[in-house]
Structure 1
Amino acid sequence: MTRVVLLGASPGPDISPTGLRLAALPGNPTVAERLHGQLAAMDPRFATIPSGDVAAALRAVADVAESASESLFIIPENSVVHDELIYQITKTKRGALALVAKEPRPQATEEEDSDQLDDTVVERIPVDEAEPEIGYNRVEGLPVRVRIGKSNRVVSVGTATHAVTRPNGVVLGPLHVSARNAPILAETCRALADMADRFGPDDDLVQLIVFGLVRNGVSVGIRGRRDLFYRRVTTQEEVNEAGAEIVGINEDRARLNHAVKGADGFFTTFFVSTYSRFIARWAARRGLTPNQVTMISIALGVAAAAAFATGDRPWMVLGGVLIYFAFVFDCVDGQVARYARKFGVLGAWLDATFDRFKEYVVFAGLAIGYVVAGNSDDIWILALAALGLQSVRHLLDFSFGASNRRKPPAKLPTISLDAPDDRELRQALVRRKVERDQGLRAVLKAWTKAGRFRAVHWARKMIVFPIGERFAAIAITAALFDARITFITLVIWGSVAAAYTLTGRLMRSLV
């Protein structure tokens, strides 16, 4: 459940921005009507806070945050936004997430005058040497007073009286704050309300909230619009432009693309997800549930095991094909859940449990088929070794994940809300970076940075021997060779993967 906070306009006539109509959309709704309908599905009794008086609005947000036991989603009422973008922002696992836009970088040419060239030279000064400033440039009507860093979070925010080092973006509007940070949000908003006279008329309310959160040590992650739409509107002309643009974007295609996990392995990414998403959409539109798709995957896995158990070459090839499609539908069930937004505890349990079941029943089928074909029954030793190794790996994965979830988030430096600029905060961040870039942390950071190279990125994905690579290895080796080669491949690759992941997790546990 998410508590929605709608930052509404002050009471006024129907010609206010939220009363303007989106003629390009079905039903000709007003901006407010459309957004209210979108938000009601999340929180039927969402809080609407007039934003004309900044101090009063901040105190009202604080009241909502103090009483909330769930995460909060804050959004201005004059927003035109895709449903899918709202969904993605509110489903984040980060402590706080803001929708942002970066200021376009100026491009100097020979025809530009010397003043513009000088500005470009200033832009090249390293950020660590730049002086804090009050941002007066604008992006989509908002003052550029946010420093967006390479660490995928907001580094610093300024106001009309608080300078920020090298501002390069804006907070567009939507802001999600997790339940664990709700008390900090409440405290921050009350403190900001007490100093409301320090802010200027062009300071945006959401940007002010992010200003306070960042200074109070909350890590505010960033997200761009990517292939979806968001815009604040204030005039009929802007509403017409927004309506035409949002209609021109295929939200369903974006939703389908986002149904695919972004962190899948090499085999899954290039040999399954390229088309499995379309199977998922077909299944969802015909009313198939994720659990039903899971049962199809299980049936294909059992059929593959039965084919392997015959020991005949044609059936071994068929088994390889069946285990491949068992994995395809294993991907499809999750994609159906994300596309149709049908999640459940039973589905998660079925998916996790029967992934193991399919794998192990195939091991048994391979070993039986090897013996039936007239080979030595010593194959069971290799089968048990592969099964035992994979079981240990799953146990380690589960235990590490459980312990990691109990680990409190790393603390970020804080700075007084009254500080006139962000020098102290940025200096503290530099010291933190130096301290964290030593010993094992330095090794882990270097290995993480190496992932920017495509070859290294995919090598790291493959070395851990994820389920896609395991099923591919079973399908290929069983179809072309025999069970002995399959189990040797599983044991060798699985041992390398276990050593790699165990080393990495030990290092992360020690830092």
Structure 2
Amino acid sequence: MTRVVLLGSSPGPNPPADRPLLTGLPGSPTVTGRLHGQLAALDPRPVTIVRADRAAFHQDYPGTLVTTADLADDLRAFADAIEDTTESLLILPADSLIHDELIYQITKSKRGALALVAKEPREFREGEGDLNGDGGEGDDERIPIDEAEPEISDRFFEELPVRARVGKSRVISVGSAYHAVTRPNAVLLGPLHLHHKHAPTLAEAARDLAGMAHLLGREDDLIQLLVLCLVRRGVSVGIRGRRDLFYRRVASQEAADDAVAAMAEFDEDRAKLNNAVKGADGFFTTYFVSTYSRFIARWAARRGLTPNQVTLISIFLGVAAAGCFATGTRTGAVAGAILIYFAFVFDCVDGQVARYARKFGVLGAWLDATFDRFKEYVVFAGLAVGAALSGQDDVWTLALVALSVQSVRHLLDFSYGAASRRRPPSLLPTLELGVSADTELREKLAERKLARQTGVRGLLKMWTKAGRVRAVHWARKMIVFPIGERFAAIAITAAFFEPRITFMTLVIWGSIAAAYTLTGRLVRSLA
């Protein structure tokens, strides 16, 4: 479950509406009512924090309504609402118009903290450069970063104050009417997702900031202030944009009407379908399977097929491929190659159906992981039997070596994954809320960045940067011999050559992949 906190009194540049904002959408008469309906599956009784003069607009909705008098009250009420939670948190303004799919993507993030941001267009601001330590965009800069002074920006973007500095993957610094930021370049749109382990830290910081409320301005947004608290306490707040989905905050009926019209121009189902495809797949899967498998997944989901049923289809095709290979004939080899390819296609489809239809389960995850290995190994057996029937010698030895290589690789994968989850996170520098300028924070980040550019960490940083080159990126994907490449290698070599070549390919490529992976993990373990 997720605890939802709605901010019905978030300060901002616009005055609150004097009546409920209508959407004009069937079944969703008001903006707030629509949002409650979207969040019911996450938390049927959310906490809503709202100023007393706005409470009447929220009292008919389920959940806990907390009325406040001012910004200090908002911060203290928020701290009370979250400090004892044992569930992840979703915090967002009550005047949000948002796609269901965007809510899903934000809440399923593996980041400990994630904020939805929008970068200020470059033409809106002066030339920029990389904030030391943030891994930023690397824009051309007119003034060196060391000479730039922290500022309290008076610029607005999407009617929100531009008082956040974001890098490539996280929020670097956040400001307010009191807190100055070096080269702010973004706004915090609204949704904030937080792992429950950070809730006590945020609650404590929110109470501390409440004591400084007299220093803050009317335009300071509550979400912005909460992210300020997290960043100043050393919590890494990841960022994401809206991409091909819609989010907007509305403060008037005219703004709500415009937002509803703009939202209708987005194809949410297409975005949902694209999100069903893993973003980190290998070369073969990306270009020879996922280009069309997503449409099979949507077709299957709309006809009520479950992910487990699709997994059974994949298993059947894998066993059928092994049977064809076991005939020892060229016709059987070609048929087996075609079947093993489609067995892999449906192996991808089952996960895509699960993500598209939101049908997840322990049984499905176990079936998928277990029978991926089963299909692979039964095909090994089929190839070896076919080779024996066709009079080839010593193929069983090669088959056993190939099986052993893959088994060792899977063992390394699972054991490293378990070990890395126990590794403590890298700590970020902190800065007291009472300090106005973020200069000290920037200097600490610069020192941290410099320290991470030496020794083993420096080598890993260089290797990561090399991955930005497209050819290197795909070479690194392929060298680890993922399941898509393995099934492709089996299909191609079995169709055109004898099984001995197939097993030699699996052994040689698998051994190179094992050595590469083991080296990388040893280096990362020492970093």
Q: The TM-score by the shorter chain falls in which range?
A: over 0.9
Matched residues in 1 for 2:355 and 2:309: separation? 15
Structure 2 counterparts to residues 425-464 of structure 1, below 5 A: 425-464=441-480
Q: What secondary structure sits across from 2:189 in the alignment?
A: strand
**Equivalent residue number for residue 125 of structure 1:** 143
Task: Quote the RMSD (CA, aligned, Å).
Answer: 1.6
**Shift of residue 27, structure 1, vs aligned partner:** 3.5
TM-score (normalised: structure 1): 0.94
User: Aligned runs of 1:367-406 on 2, under 5 Å?
Assistant: 367-376=384-393, 378-406=394-422
Amino acid at match of 1:441: R
Distance apart, 1:22 and its partner CA: 1.2
Q: Deviation per CA, 1:72-113: give whole Å up to 9, x if none.
A: 00000000000000110011110100000011112799xxxx
Q: Which residue of 1 aligns with 2:490?
A: 474
Match status 1:30 vs 2:46: no
Q: Secondary structure at the match of 1:412?
A: coil
Deviations 1:33-79 (A, max 9, x none): 10010011110011111156211111121112212101100000000
Of the structure 1 ranges 406-415 and 221-230, higher mean CA displacement relative to structure 2 is found in 406-415
Counterpart residue type for residue 497 of structure 2: F
Q: Is 1:98–1:222's contact at 8 Å kept on the other side of the alignment?
A: yes
Structure 2 segments unaligned to the other structure (5+ residues): 11-15, 52-68, 127-138
Q: Would the alpha carbon gap of residues 84 and 18 (structure 1) be closer, same or farther in structure 2, given more than 3 Å must change?
A: farther
Percent pairwise identity: 70
Paired positions, count: 493
Alignment of 1:193-272 (within 5 A): 193-272=210-289
Deviation at 1:18, TM superposition (A): 7.2
1:483 aligns with 2:499: yes
Q: How does 1:291-330 map to 2 (within 5 A)?
A: 291-330=308-347
Which residue number in structure 2 is paired with residue 113 of structure 1?
none
Q: Give the superposition deviation at 1:189.
A: 1.3
Equivalent of residue 420 in structure 1, options 396, 418, 436: 436
Query: What secondary structure is seen at the aligned counterpart in 2 of 1:375?
Result: coil
Mind listing any 5+ residue stretches in structure 1 that lack a counterpart?
A: 110-120
Q: Cα offset for 1:385?
A: 0.4
Q: Name the structure 1 match of 2:364.
A: 347
Kindly provide the amino acid, as one letter, of the partner of residue 186 in structure 2: G
Indicate how the Cα distance of structure 1 residues 483 and 128 shifts in structure 2: closer, same or farther if over 3 A, else same.
Answer: farther
Task: Quote how far apart the aligned CAs of 1:381 are.
Answer: 0.7
What residue identity is the alignment partner of 2:45?
R
Q: Which residue identity is paired with 2:341?
A: Y
Equivalent-residue separation in structure 2 for 1:345 and 1:450 (angstroms): 37
Asked if 2 retains the 8 angstrom alpha-carbon contact of 1:147 and 1:154, the reply is: yes
- Superposed, which structure 2 residues align to 1:54-133 within 5 Å? 54-106=71-123, 124-133=142-151
1:139 maps to which residue? 157
Q: Deviations over 1:175-207 (max 9, x none)?
A: 001122111111121111121111111000000
SS in 1 for 2:29: coil
Alignment of 1:12-51 (within 5 A): 16=17, 19-23=20-24, 25-27=25-27, 29-50=29-50
Pair 1:410-2:426 in alignment: yes
Q: 1:127 offset after TM fit, Å?
A: 3.0
Q: Distance in 1 between matches of 2:388 and 2:477?
A: 34
Question: Any conservation in 2 of the 1:6–1:49 contact (CA below 8 Å)?
Answer: yes
Alignment partner, residue 465 of structure 1: 481
What's the CA shift string for 1:190-246, capped at 9, x where partnerless? 111121111111000000000010000000000000000000001111111110111
State the SS of the aligned residue for 2:432: coil
**C-alpha distance in structure 2 between counterparts of 1:190 and 1:292, whole Å:** 51
Secondary structure, aligned partner of 2:123: coil
Match of 1:5 in 2: 5
Once the two structures are superposed, residues 109-129 of structure 1 have per-residue CA deviations (whole angstroms, 9 ceiling, x without a partner) of 9xxxxxxxxxxx996223343
Task: State TM-score, norm by structure 2.
Answer: 0.91
* 1:149 maps to which of 167, 176, 180: 167
| SS at 1:132 equivalent | coil
AA at the equivalent of 1:506: L
CA contact under 8 A between 1:17 and 1:234: conserved in structure 2? Answer: no
Deviation string 1:254-273 (CA, Å, 9 cap, x unpaired) is 00000000000000000000
- Structure 1 18/477 Cα, relative in aligned 2: closer, same or farther at 3 Å? farther
Q: Provide the secondary structure at the position in 1 that maps to 2:5.
A: strand
AA aligned opposite 1:69: T
Could you tell me how far apart the structure 1 residues matched to 2:5 and 2:28 are? 25
Moved runs in structure 1, 4+ residues, more than 6 A?
A: none
Which of the pair is proportionally richer in helix? 1
